[in-house]
Amino acid sequence: MKFQPHASHFINGEYVEDTNGREIEVIYPATGELIAKLHSATPAIIDLALKAAQDAQQAWAALSGTERGRILRRASDIIRKRNYDLSVLETHDTGKPLQETTVADATSGADALEYFGGLAGSLTGEHIALGGGDFVYTIRQALGVCVGIGAWNYPTQIACWKAAPALACGNTMIFKPSETTPLSALKVAEILCEAGAPKGIYNVVQGYGEVGAALVTDQRVAKVSLTGSVPTGRKVYAAAAAEMKHVTMELGGKSPIIVFDDADLEDAISGAILGNFYSSGQVCSNGTRVFVQKGIKEAFLKRLTERLGQAKIGDPMDMDVSFGPMVSERQLNIVKGYIAIGIEEGARLVSGGQQLKREGFYLEPTVFADVTDKMTIAREEIFGPVMSVLDFDTEDEVLARANDTEFGLAAGVFTADLTRAHRVVAGFEAGSCFINTYNLAPVEAPFGGSKASGVGRENSKLAINHYSEMKSVYVSMNSVEAPY
Ligand code: NDP
């Protein structure tokens, strides 16, 4: 098999196997070909990983931030050097076009390792002067063993976005990738070791949901960071809360993009394309409810359809291909189900809607118009290449409708009126907002959701607060006064 790793898990600096674990078949979504066979972690493997992470944590935290940072930055350099090979692997794991994976996956992981590697040496507490010479100083401490659980859409990026701030703060990590895309996190673990990471600071265990659940409930774990759907988030958050563990939840969305009639039409269409069809629509922050002001609706749809005709759908390994298959047959069927519901509930199918007659899990980029707020396709996260276009008259009306959702991950507005743009953004109930662009996630900016879309933030300096806690130390310079 083309991409068979040495073994399923990476624990304490080496590959480990236990063939008693349930089999995991890794399928190349473009052809349906089996490219690797792994095994889900058994209780013995889970315990081995927890023990390794626990044993390694104190010595790792005792290094200076600069030393930890140097290792992360070295790992970032190695990832950049191997970007092409890592991208080929990511394309086979996910089906995403090489045109995308070479610029948005391993490179984004490298950005996180570089950024948090750079920050590691500057993580400090503070000195707080009190009256009479007394003072408090604070010590920024690691939380301990962290568990990362990933979704299947950006496996390398998710593995690094969680590892980088966790390790920079002196924590150790056990990462469980989605069983649909288990391969690239193993490469991240290998590369961290090659960069000089001590054994046990970053471990990868494979498995289905129950492996994640076993990790989340273990007493040795201090923090859980999940990237996944809202239903899984609710379960994991509840399990972590029972033990009072720290959490970061990066969950799903049904984000709005609002296009006013004064917007640059080509830019707005570019934003809507990026926010619906990149990675075949399998992006959490996608703007899948596109509200277009009535006067420009038909022009928007006409030009959008023309531009979708230019998408090159095909073999994701061909650098000219800009639109690949869905990640799995299961996800393809879920999305086809939503398309059928959209038609049944009376939305107008403007473009696409069909599975391609070829091997692999290909679905045409699909656009529905005349979608109303109550339709299922406007309310539920589809996680596939399906755009819903809704129309509106006024700013107040559209903002209220845009916010009328349980989700709050992202939101975008396209308009030439900057005053209006800032006013609308101020009203959005969403964690990541965009003006005249969509779906960018630079490591320097906080990323994460409001409402049911999440808890906490990844990336940026803020992530440090989610992977460390402060200890306050009161120092008295005076005698102690007691009442008796
Ligand atoms: P899931 O929620 O199905 O799974 C996410 C991860 O959680 C998987 O590794 C899964 O394992 C694991 N898991 C499932 N049940 C449990 C449990 N009870 N305890 C612990 N772990 C568990 O999401 P998908 O993998 O289908 O990914 C798609 C979702 O992820 C979408 O909703 C998308 O919006 C969201 N997402 C959010 C992002 C963000 O940053 N906000 C970014 C990317 C995706 P298994 O796969 O074996 O079930």
Q: Please list the pLDDT of the chain residue by residue as tens digits (484 residues).
A: 889 999 999 999 999 999 999 999 999 999 999 999 999 999 999 999 999 999 999 999 999 999 999 999 999 999 999 999 999 999 999 999 999 999 999 999 999 999 999 999 999 999 999 999 999 999 999 999 999 999 999 999 999 999 999 999 999 999 999 999 999 999 999 999 999 999 999 999 999 999 999 999 999 999 999 999 999 999 999 999 999 999 999 999 999 999 999 999 999 999 999 999 999 999 999 999 999 999 999 999 999 999 999 999 999 999 999 999 999 999 999 999 999 999 999 999 999 999 999 999 999 999 999 999 999 999 999 999 999 999 999 999 999 999 999 999 999 999 999 999 999 999 999 999 999 999 999 999 999 999 999 999 999 999 999 999 999 999 999 999 999 9
* 3-class DSSP state of 134: coil
Pocket of ligand 1 (CB under 6 A): 149-153, 176, 178-179, 208-209, 212-213, 216, 226-229, 232, 235-236, 250-253, 284, 381, 383, 409, 449, 454
pLDDT digits 0-9 by tens, 94-127: 999 999 999 999 999 999 999 999 999 999 999 9
Residue whose CB lies within 8 A of the most ligand 1 atoms, among 161, 205, 227, for a mutation test = 227
Residue 139: both structure tokens together: 């010590």
How many whole angstroms from 460 Cα to the centroid of ligand 1? 22
The confidence score (pLDDT) of residue 280 equals 98
CA 55 to each of CA 50, 185, 355: distance values in angstroms, whole numbers, following the listed order: 8, 21, 50
Nearest to 283 by CA among 108, 425, 451, 143: 108
CA 168 to mean position of chain CA atoms: 19
Substitution site in 25, 40, 178 for ligand 1 pocket (most atoms within 8 Å of beta carbon): 178
Give, in order, the Cα–Cα distances in Å from 245 to each of 143, 285, 467.
10, 26, 11
Query: Cα(61) to centroid of ligand 1, in Å?
Result: 29
Q: Which residues are catalytic?
A: 162, 250, 284, 458
The ligand 1 atom nearest the CA atom of 176: 9
Q: Ligand 1 center to residue 315 CA distance, Å?
A: 26
Report the sign of the C-alpha dihedral through residues 221, 176, 235, 285, in that order: positive
